Amino acid sequence: MPDITRTCRITGKLFTITEWEQEFYKKMGVTPPTLCIEERHRRRLSHRNERTIYKGQCSLCAKAMISIYSPDKLNKVYCPDCWWSDKWDPRDFGRDIDFNRPFFDQFAELQRVVPQIALFNLRGENSEYCNITNSNKNCYLVFGGDYCEDCMNSCFSMYCKDVSDVYWTNHSELCFDCIDCGDCYNVRYSQGSYNCKDSDFLFECRACTNCFGCVGLRNKEYHIFNKPYSKEEYHQKIQEYQLHSWSGVQRMKQQFEEFRLRFPHRAAQIINCENSSGDDLRNCKNCSNCFDVEGPAEDLKDCFLAGWGARDMVSCDHGGFGAQLYYEMVGSIEGQRCAFCTFCWTSSDIWYSHMIVNNSHDLFGCSNMKKAEYCILNKQYSKEEYFSVRQKLVDHMKKTGEFGEFFPIANSLFSYNETVANDYFSVSKEEALRMNWKWCDFQTPVQAERTIPAEKLPDSIQDIPDDILNWAILCERTGRPFKIIAQELKYYRRMKIPIPHLCPEERNRARIRRRKPRTTWERECDKCQKTIFTPYRPECPEKIYCEQCYLNEVE
């Protein structure tokens, strides 16, 4: 069976379906994709609202709550306590299949009436402003980060304490504004660095202590811009940079960016992997075109932010944890033989469904079900009926052209700009509406005694009065008001960090932009001219070295 080439229905771009992939589709019983990898990725992400949260009210107990659904949306939303309780039954919303209409329309109608859960926040303690999180304590605006304590304004931080403004940074403490870091302590404004301590502005460093503005160093201490200093000189010199002030941090950010570009960059971060391609992979085997995968992981293709014991998955993101045979799944973990679902946890043989939990199995087109079996569109069938009706529905969907496709973007429960799709594939409001995608302009009003434009804030954290807790700051980029909470002020003072001029959402966006894109290009190593695949675009200002040339340089 040779590789086959197809033309993407949307972009007209050619894409390849490998021999291995064709075997996978056969095993799963699905028809091969009609969209290129990127458009499949965008379509899935448009169903994931990670960080856009609102104040709302539970449709069952009327309690005030935080919700990922804006109040102007018409669907029923339950607070997590009510949602997880036995006070309601999703089967009450079950319905027959109408074989004269498309399946996606019928599923969208079900989605609109079934109670949705306000937040995916498991075992949180004093952490109500968090979503897609597990076992967090005293956290605020943490999204997709688990087992954290006293953390704020972060995405994908696992096992962290006292960190703020980090993205994909694990097992760290007292860190601020870090991206793709791990096992760090008291590190600020850094990227791609591990096992570092008491440092600021690091890029791709390992096991460094008391380093400032350094690139690609290994096991060093008391270095400033990659030059050694005595301990006394070091502490004296870094004071000059005035990192307690906003202007000091901005000056240093610019200076460090220019310094970083003088060094060669590693083509891709593929560590301890076998036969794998993409970027930011650890302990993977046979993972092709994957990004941000934390192994062990085996036989994955086109997967993003996944791993932890995942096997045999194609086109999935934000999931894994022991999952096997997953195709086009979002935010799903610990199950087998599932396809085209959003948020399917510890459940198997689930297709075309949303929010399925507690060891459910054999569901098709279901929404918000716990410990359920043999249901279609939330209607209960006997085991025998289930398999024959399921087959009839699959045949119907093959006729309508729906089978093998993920839910359309227009059918998402969220507006395009509320979802992660807009981070990686951003579009203007006009473009979104032209595509028939939803757009949300609703904003929770901010109550404050006075409003201050960010650029009018005192420059240094030392000059910020307690009264700032009563102010609304106008974000320097969007003009949107945001407030500082007491936990943040305490943290900024302790860490000597200036008050941010951007709202939390814009800060997160800036961190995502600083990361490499989730696609690779073919180009030459800038040293040995060998052909390499790298997420650095061909026109990027960085010097890119192949793995061997890079290691020769830094180690």
Residues making contact with Zn ion (CB under 5 A) = 58, 60-61, 63, 79, 82, 525, 527-528, 530, 546, 549
Closest CA to 520 of 296, 317, 288: 288
Total Cβ atoms within 10 A of residue 449 = 9
Residue 25's alpha-carbon distances to 198, 205, 327, in angstroms, are: 49, 41, 9
CA distance 31 to 36: 14
The full DSSP string for 480-506 is: -EE---HHHHHHHHHHT-PPPSS-HHH
CA distance 317 to 49: 13
CA 278 to chain centre: 17
Residues 6+ apart with CB under 8 A from 447: none
Please report how close the Cβ of residue 531 comes to Zn ion at its closest, in angstroms: 10
CA distance 419 to 109: 21
Please report how close the Cβ of residue 466 comes to Zn ion at its closest, in angstroms: 35
Q: Which is nearer to Zn ion, 82 or 338 (CB)?
A: 82
Q: Answer whether the bond into residue 296 is a cis peptide, omega within 30°.
A: yes
Tokens read off for 377: 């569109």
Q: Which is nearer to Zn ion, 1 or 74 (CB)?
A: 74
Please report how close the Cβ of residue 57 comes to Zn ion at its closest, in angstroms: 9
Q: Which is nearer to Zn ion, 65 or 413 (CB)?
A: 65
Please report how close the Cβ of residue 122 comes to Zn ion at its closest, in angstroms: 16
Please report how close the Cβ of residue 129 comes to Zn ion at its closest, in angstroms: 17
Which one-letter amino acid corresponds to residue 110?
L
Kindly tell me the burial class for residue 240, based on how many C-beta atoms sit within 10 Å of its own C-beta (0-12, 13-18, 19 or more): exposed
Q: Which is nearer to Zn ion, 447 or 531 (CB)?
A: 531
Q: Which is nearer to Zn ion, 53 or 454 (CB)?
A: 53
Please report how close the Cβ of residue 417 comes to Zn ion at its closest, in angstroms: 27
Cβ atoms of 323 and 332 within 8 Å: the answer is yes
Helix (H) or strand (E) holding 154: strand 152-158
CA distance 472 to 451: 5
CA distance 149 to 293: 24
Q: Which is nearer to Zn ion, 60 or 489 (CB)?
A: 60
Q: Which is nearer to Zn ion, 364 or 550 (CB)?
A: 550
Token look-up 């403004």 returns: 165
Q: Which is nearer to Zn ion, 396 or 523 (CB)?
A: 523
Please report how close the Cβ of residue 82 comes to Zn ion at its closest, in angstroms: 3
**Per DSSP, which regions of 345-420 are E strands?**
348-351, 354-357, 361-364, 367-370, 373-376, 379-380
Residue 107's alpha-carbon distances to 44, 60, 122, 376, 378, in angstroms, are: 16, 23, 26, 10, 10
Please report how close the Cβ of residue 538 comes to Zn ion at its closest, in angstroms: 16
Q: Which is nearer to Zn ion, 78 or 482 (CB)?
A: 78
Please report how close the Cβ of residue 80 comes to Zn ion at its closest, in angstroms: 8
Cβ atoms of 437 and 416 within 8 Å: the answer is yes
Length of the chain: 555
Please report how close the Cβ of residue 59 comes to Zn ion at its closest, in angstroms: 8
Please report how close the Cβ of residue 74 comes to Zn ion at its closest, in angstroms: 18
CA distance 42 to 393: 26
Beta 521-524 vs 481-482: how paired, if at all? Answer: unpaired
Q: Which is nearer to Zn ion, 198 or 526 (CB)?
A: 526
Backbone angles phi, psi at 553, to 5 degrees: -75, -45
Tokens read off for 356: 């399925």
Helix (H) or strand (E) holding 513: helix 504-514
Q: Which is nearer to Zn ion, 28 or 268 (CB)?
A: 268
Closest CA to 165 of 465, 494, 462, 500: 500
Please report how close the Cβ of residue 70 comes to Zn ion at its closest, in angstroms: 18
Q: Which is nearer to Zn ion, 271 or 528 (CB)?
A: 528
Q: Which is nearer to Zn ion, 36 or 525 (CB)?
A: 525
Closest CA to 397 of 190, 37, 101: 101
Please report how close the Cβ of residue 267 comes to Zn ion at its closest, in angstroms: 8
